[in-house]
Amino acid sequence: MSFRIVNPPDEEIAWCIQLYQSYPRQCLHYLRQSYPRSRVVLLVDGDAENVERYQALGREFQTQVIFGEHLMEFQTNHLYVARLMHQAVAGPETYFFRIDPDTRIWRRFSWLPGMSCAFGTLETVTVAFKDRIRHPPNIQGGCIGLTRDVSQSILTQDILSYDSCVKEARKGWVRTLDCEHLATSGKMLDDFVISWAVDTAGFPLIQHAEIASYWRDAINNKKLQFVVTHPHKEMDMADDS
């Protein structure tokens, strides 16, 4: 890539962790070690029984905690992703990261893309069904980065509508056997929705060399080659105990 922003400061980066019966303490611990001043949002998808625990984490790690109704279903997938995009543009930051509670941040980014795009670890074949992903490729959901203007454009163009994401989902984000299996059972894959929406808005999806996000088995990072690795289920278990 010819255009890079080297050593972007905390104030240029925002983070969002979507939560439902989740244990993000370890994730937040590692995130705050590397980015103590970045805006961090805990976006709670329903999960009323864990309100007090999330609020306590918000105070401990100086994050914003936003509670909303449960939307991570096929019938409301457009609303689920739109809620995330609204958080991306809620602040002035150039970069916005959607990460999972079992994602680990090891160090600071040495660079981020100096162009309008979404970025992360690209998938062209699914892990579960070994199915080729119809265009566009997918940015694996453990860590998805977007520039602010991409999120704004997705919202401005009204790409995340009921018609496009539910009624006509099989012409858009449902583009693998994995997606079809989940959609049929009333569920959704937000990383596939996001990647499709970015492409539909006219922006590229880019592989970032410092992000190693996979569905299973985090890559070895003893030499700190990567800023981000996923998944780390042991972080959830440590939090739960």
pLDDT at 3: 86
CA trace torsion 211, 182, 22, 145 (10° rounding): 30
Query: Residue holding tokens 């990460």?
Result: 99
Pairing of strands 111-113, 4-6: antiparallel
Q: Which parts of the chain register pLDDT below 70?
A: 1-2, 237-241
> Which fold, 10-240?
Spore Coat Polysaccharide Biosynthesis Protein SpsA; Chain A (3.90.550)
| H helix runs in 145-222, sequence order | 148-156, 162, 177-184, 190-200
Q: What is the pTM of this model?
A: 0.97
40, 62 contact by CB (below 8 A) = yes
105, 227 contact by CB (below 8 A) = yes
Which 8-state DSSP code applies to residue 40? E
Domain boundaries, the chain: 10-240
Letter for the amino acid at 129? F
User: Which sign does the torsion angle of CA 191, 193, 194, 199 carry?
Assistant: positive
